[in-house]
């Protein structure tokens, strides 16, 4: 079987599109062969003003590129495309207003991912582009606004860090007019070393055998050092020093004097060079090669895993169940009941599939807050699900899980400002009813309720016999009727 997958990487410096063809090899092993790539320099991070808002010009550049990418992806099914946005989207104050426009221009939803999730995907991409190895590898990815540093083994990361420094942001801060002297370079390196020293001890203790750089800065440095004769063995400490000396003597990056450099990389090279030099010093790196894979290839393999029913998010949920000592039997009861109630409420389609998947995960994890405190545990659950590192989940994914967990009990008014649409209200309704019916933490052979919904009118039919034999549940259901009416739903409780 062969099919196409597409990954869109919206970085702080460049936007990239990669299309891969999936080929099933012997023994069920799948391989991705990249068949098309697009890259455009957007310099999104350069559009951030002092108040962390993206300028209109930067937004216009981004929208124009996304429209071009969208044309290339026009024939792709939504579950064959994943678009991820990184540091500038994370820090920009006007991302909530910009993101819907960006998604519309691309034609597919865009996920803003956390720094550690970015690091995980980068390591996966690099590891899949290298020969198999059982030794630990260090991967460094200097982006436009953040730098990811990962140690991993095989395809799995062991240590992951995302540091708030990048080639665009450092070039703007320390070399604003493109001018480079010994003082400004030294200041940039010291700033980078302060960021790296926080992780240096743990990384040194873990250790690695090989070091690789991924993405634009590392590849640019590799090409310049080798073609200029500053290094004969990839990126080295000696080579970096020679390049620094050359640029400082020239007073700026002059592309004509540096074989191997791409013209569009010249403006951001000083910041990237300072960061790489600091990483070499703090982590004691002697030599570094480059890996062809990066975030976009990691996204493609993550998509492939979801397609093959090896979704990283399922693994994260299992780890959270274990870490927070969730009552697995109760979680399974609530999941089954919530999904059974939810299934007939929406027509089949991609939107229903995604929300149903989120509802299942929220049911699995709605009690993680009990490991913190029983009182208000649903608030603890929501906080953990929104703020913890959950590999495979985007920030939007986690926000939805947190919303469902927060809304599964207590007053509905607290979640009303957070709910985006009617469908999310229906998911909250089903999770509330499931946890309510299963409060005794016992299996129910046959559900004693049915739900029908039309527009904003909810009709809940409950077995008369059940109400008679479960006065506490009956009392709570009557309260539910009041809660839903407070937020504008017509809620009718009937017997059958």
491 in helix, strand or coil?
Answer: strand
User: Which of 184, 190, 106, 115 minimizes the C-alpha distance to 146?
Assistant: 115
DSSP letters for 368-416: GGGGT-STTHHHHHHHHHHHS--TT--HHHHHHHHHHHHHTSS-GGGTG
- Starting at the edge strand found earlier in the chain, the sheet holding 449-454 runs 449-454, 457-462, 490-495
Q: Which two tokens stand for residue 2?
A: 């062969």
pTM for this model (two decimals): 0.77
Q: What is the mean pLDDT of the chain?
A: 91
Model confidence at 183, pLDDT cuts 50, 70, 90, reads very high
Residue showing tokens 């951030």:
48
DSSP 169-199: HHHHHH-TTS---HHHHHHHHHHHHHHHHHH
Residues 230-259: tens digit of each pLDDT: 998 889 999 999 999 999 999 999 999 998
- Tokens found for residue 380: 């603890």
Dist CA 62 CA 287 (whole Å): 36
30-41/210-214 β-pairing? unpaired
Q: Residue 144: helix, strand or coil by DSSP?
A: coil
* 89 CB burial (10 A radius; 0-12, 13-18, 19+): buried
- Whether the CA torsion 327, 330, 336, 340 is positive or negative: it is negative
CA-based R_g, the chain, Å: 26
Chain segment 431-480, per-residue pLDDT in tens = 999 999 998 899 988 899 999 999 889 999 998 888 888 888 888 888 88
E strand residue ranges, 430-473: 449-454, 457-462
Condensed to tens digits (0 to 9), the pLDDT of residues 27-76 reads 566 778 888 999 998 989 889 898 999 999 999 999 999 999 999 999 89
Residue 473: per-residue pLDDT? 85
Does residue 1 have a pLDDT over 50?
A: no
| Exposure on the CB side of residue 434, measured as CA atoms within 13 A | 29
Q: Which residues contact 186 (CB under 8 A, 6 or more apart)?
A: none
Q: What is the mean pLDDT of residues 342-358?
A: 89
Q: Mind giving me the DSSP string for 288-340? A: EEE-S--HHHHHHHHHHHHHTT--HHHHHHHHHHHHTT--HHHHHHHHHHHHH
What domains can you pick out in the chain, each with its CATH number?
A: 2-114+297-303 (3.30.420.40), 131-290 (3.30.420.150), 311-445 (1.10.3210.10)
Position 17 scores a pLDDT of 94
């Amino acid at each position: 079987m062969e099919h196409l997958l597409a990954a869109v990487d919206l970085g702080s410096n460049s936007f990239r599109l990669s299309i891969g063809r999936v080929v099933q090899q012997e023994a069920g092993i799948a391989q991705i062969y990249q068949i098309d790539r697009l890259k455009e320099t957007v310099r999104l991070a350069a559009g951030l003003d002092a108040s962390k808002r993206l300028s209109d010009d930067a937004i216009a550049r981004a929208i124009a590129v996304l429209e071009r990418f969208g044309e290339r992806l026009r024939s792709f099914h939504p579950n064959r495309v994943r678009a991820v946005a990184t540091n500038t989207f994370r820090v920009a104050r006007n991302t909530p207003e910009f993101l819907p426009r960006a998604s519309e221009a691309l034609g597919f939803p865009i996920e803003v991912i956390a720094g550690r999730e970015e690091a995980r995907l980068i390591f996966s991409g690099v590891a899949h582009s290298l020969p198999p190895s059982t030794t630990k590898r260090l991967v460094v990815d200097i982006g436009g606004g953040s730098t990811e540093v990962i140690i991993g083994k095989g395809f799995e990361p062991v240590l992951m860090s995302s540091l708030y420094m990048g080639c665009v942001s450092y070039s703007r801060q320390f070399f604003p007019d493109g001018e480079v002297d010994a003082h400004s370079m030294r200041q940039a390196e010291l700033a980078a070393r302060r960021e790296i020293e926080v992780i240096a001890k743990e990384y040194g203790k873990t250790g690695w055998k090989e070091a690789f750089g991924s993405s634009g800065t590392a590849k640019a440095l590799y090409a310049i050092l080798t073609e200029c004769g500053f290094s004969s063995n990839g990126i080295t400490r000696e080579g970096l020093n020679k390049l620094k000396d050359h640029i400082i003597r020239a007073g700026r990056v002059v592309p004509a004097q540096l074989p191997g450099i791409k013209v569009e990389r010249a403006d951001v090279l000083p910041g990237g060079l300072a960061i790489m030099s600091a990483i070499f010093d703090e982590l004691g790196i002697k030599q570094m090669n480059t890996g062809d894979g990066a975030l976009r290839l990691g996204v493609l393999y993550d998509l492939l895993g979801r397609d093959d029913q090896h979704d990283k998010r399922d693994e994260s949920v299992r780890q959270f169940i274990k870490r927070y000592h969730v009552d697995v039997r109760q979680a399974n009861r609530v999941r089954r009941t919530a999904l059974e109630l939810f299934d007939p409420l929406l027509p089949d389609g991609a939107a229903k599939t995604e929300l149903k998947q989120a509802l299942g995960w929220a049911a699995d994890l709605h009690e993680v807050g009990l490991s913190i405190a029983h009182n208000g545990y649903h608030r603890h659950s929501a906080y953990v699900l929104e703020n913890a590192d959950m590999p495979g989940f985007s920030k939007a994914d986690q926000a939805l899980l947190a919303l469902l967990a927060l809304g599964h009990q207590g007053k509905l008014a607290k979640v009303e400002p957070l709910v985006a649409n009617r469908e999310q209200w229906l998911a909250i309704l089903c999770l509330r009813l499931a946890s309510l019916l299963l409060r005794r933490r016992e299996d129910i052979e046959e559900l004693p309720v049915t739900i029908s919904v039309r527009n904003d009118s909810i009709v809940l039919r409950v077995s008369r016999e059940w109400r008679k034999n479960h006065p506490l549940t009956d009392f709570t259901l009557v309260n539910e009727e009041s809660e839903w009416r407070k937020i504008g739903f017509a809620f009718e409780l009937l017997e059958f």
